[in-house]
Amino acid sequence: MNYQEKFKLALREALSDTGLAFVVNVPLNFLLVHLCITVWQVGTFWTSVIMTSIFTVFAITRKTYVRLFFDERNRKKEEKRSQKI
C-alpha cells in the first residue's frame, strides 16, 4: 500500500470519527450544561471539570471502537486485494 492509499484511509477514518463525535457531543453538551446549571447547580469550575471528564471518557471510548472498526475493514480489504494477486 502506497502513501496516497494510506493517507486516504486515514483521512476517511478521521472524518468519520469527527462526524460521529459531532453527532454525539452536541446533544451530550446540551444535556450536561442543563444538568450542571439547573439540576446540580454547580459553578463554572465544576461544570468545566465534569464536562471535560465526561467528554474525555466518551472520546477515548469512541476512538477505540472507531479504530477497531476501521482496522477490521482495512484488514478485509487487504485480504481481498491479496487474493486477487
CA distances from 35 to 24, 39, 40, 47, 80 (A): 17, 5, 6, 9, 49
Averages of pLDDT over runs of 10 residues in the chain (85 residues) are: 93 97 98 97 97 98 97 93 82
Residue 84: predicted pLDDT: 78
Residues 6+ apart with CB under 8 A from 71: none
Residue 85: predicted pLDDT: 67
Cα angle: 55, vertex 74, 3; to 5 degrees? 95
